[in-house]
Amino acid sequence: MNPKYIRNFSIIAHVDHGKSTLADRLLERTGTIPERLMRDQVLDRMDLERERGITIKMQPVRMVYHSGCPERSEGQEFILNLIDTPGHIDFSYEVSRALHAVEGVLLLVDSTQGVQAQTLTTFEAARVQGCTVIPVISKIDSPIARINEVRAELAALVRISPDDVLAVSGKTGEGIDELLEAIVERVPSPRGFAHIAGAEPRGLIFDFSYSTHRGISVYLRVFDGTFRKGQPLSFHAAGENFIALETGIFTPVETPADSLSAGEIGYIVTGIKEPGIVAVGDTIGAAKGSLPALPGYEKPRPVVWASVYPESHDDLPLLRKSLERLRLSDSSLSFEEESSGVLGRGFRCGFL
């Protein structure tokens, strides 16, 4: 895939400003998910997310969009890789990881509330990362929408003309076509050394998942070369070698693909079942590659600590294994063994 026709972006916003609903409309308009399978909050896959109506885990998805711009006359299609992120401040680490994998963001603001504290926080994070920011007003169908006022607020924040602030309704679908065109026109094509013949593969891990059958699947943004099934690969930081059992994309479920090329976002099944080897922010590359590691993430600094002890000393290995498994789904978790004269041996756990 020519990276010229790839757009990687994320949606960032204050909590409850309509992110998940907007993502639903983008998936619907691009035909990514069949109409019979569409449901509200389709990218929120955890039961707690659907119960509370909030996004907790980031979720990547690949969309195919035929733009109305001149390339369409040549039969060209665009690949839009969206990473949906949480809006709640407690899950800001999820947002920071997503920003390392994209070139642009949709900064979403509720037309009934205006710019909020988390709006400023997420905007600053995107600015520092060098992402192109597209300001978008949501919920314009609301009878109490303050469209002109919020448009002026956003224009002042991002320092653009009010005419460049988009307005959409995730409920009715108004403005979605204009938003898709803006993504194609304003978000830069992927940075990196995409189409150098024979380039070594290199990608940045921004998340991972675990299953007892396939082991760890790393979610990555490819910056160089091409990853394929059967390739011998290595983690730079851990120095661990492995064979790629499968490469694929998110549709939004994990779907096998022949390869992942520079500029694309996808996953690689590693087959590794030992926790602690894979780390968010690590670089994945050829087993005997010569490319240096990509700039990664800063290690998260826990702000809340809790000591956890097993009821029985014999259960300490089981508790350690459980914490290691938990860290596979929440890479911000940290823990270290400690001892108490009263409670015995346990773990000091750090949370964001």
List domains and CATH numbers for the chain.
Answer: 3-186 (3.40.50.300), 202-286 (2.40.30.10), 304-351 (3.30.70.870)
Distance, in Å, from the CA atom of 284 to the CA atom of 296, rounded to the nearest integer, reads 11
Summarize pLDDT for 154-187 with one digit per residue, the tens.
Answer: 999 999 999 999 999 988 989 999 999 999 999 9
Which residues on adjacent β-strands are paired with residue 65? 78
Distance, in Å, from the CA atom of 84 to the CA atom of 19, rounded to the nearest integer, reads 8
**Which residues neighbour 93 within 8 Å (Cβ) at sequence distance 6 or greater?**
300, 331, 332, 352
Could you tell me what percent of the chain has a pLDDT over 90?
50
* pLDDT score, position 85: 76
- Kindly tell me if the per-residue pLDDT of 131 is higher than 50: yes
Mean pLDDT rounded to a whole number for the chain: 84
129-143, 194-208, 311-325: the lowest-pLDDT one: 194-208
- Kindly tell me if the per-residue pLDDT of 265 is higher than 80: yes
CB 270 within 8 A of CB 282: no
* pLDDT score, position 326: 83
Summarize pLDDT for 191-232 with one digit per residue, the tens.
Answer: 765 556 568 999 999 888 888 889 999 999 999 999 999 999
Confidence class for position 94, pLDDT limits 50, 70, 90:
low
